[in-house]
């Protein structure tokens, strides 16, 4: 069994992968009956729920109540969404960088910041 910081990082990576699969799976399932943006939005919301549940119970094994932890998680998630938009805007629009490279920077940067905030604030006991 993976324990300690390495185990927690591993569990965080797995939870992120499952969250991404949820987003894609729900989105692909719903795009047949809903407009693509709506289908993706529902998939995103589902992925946030999966991510929260896994991080609270499994990744960080937090004893913090769901009311407090859930509100904090939504703040961190909202900040991450905003940061993603800023990184993409600055990188692709202001600096005229190629979208794949700019998105790659965001994909690396944001989970690191999310992990730091969620481990030290959202789910800290």
At 3 the pLDDT is 79
Kindly give, in sequence order, each residue whose CB lies less than 8 Å from that of residue 118, ignoring residues fewer than 6 positions away.
55, 60, 73, 76
**34 C-beta neighbours (distance < 10 Å), count:** 14
Predicted TM-score (pTM) of the model is 0.90
**85 C-beta neighbours (distance < 10 Å), count:** 11
* Each residue's pLDDT tens digit, 1-55: 677 889 999 999 999 999 999 999 999 999 999 999 999 999 999 999 999 999 9
Q: For 3-9, which contacts have Cβ atoms below 8 Å and span 24 or more sequence positions?
A: 8/59, 8/60, 8/119, 9/115
* Each residue's pLDDT tens digit, 67-103: 999 999 999 999 999 999 999 999 999 999 999 999 9
Kindly give, in sequence order, each residue whose CB lies less than 8 Å from that of residue 34, ignoring residues fewer than 6 positions away.
42
């Amino acid at each position: 069994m993976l324990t300690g910081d390495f185990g927690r990082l591993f569990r965080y990576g797995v939870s992120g992968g499952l969250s991404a699969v949820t987003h894609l799976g729900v989105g692909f399932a719903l795009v047949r009956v809903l407009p693509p943006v709506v289908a993706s939005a529902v998939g995103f919301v589902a992925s946030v729920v999966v991510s929260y549940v896994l991080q609270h119970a499994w990744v960080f094994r937090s004893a913090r109540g769901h009311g407090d932890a859930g509100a904090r998680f939504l703040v961190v998630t909202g900040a991450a969404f905003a940061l993603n938009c800023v990184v993409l805007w600055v990188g692709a629009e202001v600096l005229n960088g190629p979208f794949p490279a700019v998105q790659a920077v965001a994909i690396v940067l944001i989970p690191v910041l999310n992990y730091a905030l969620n481990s030290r604030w959202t789910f800290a006991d």
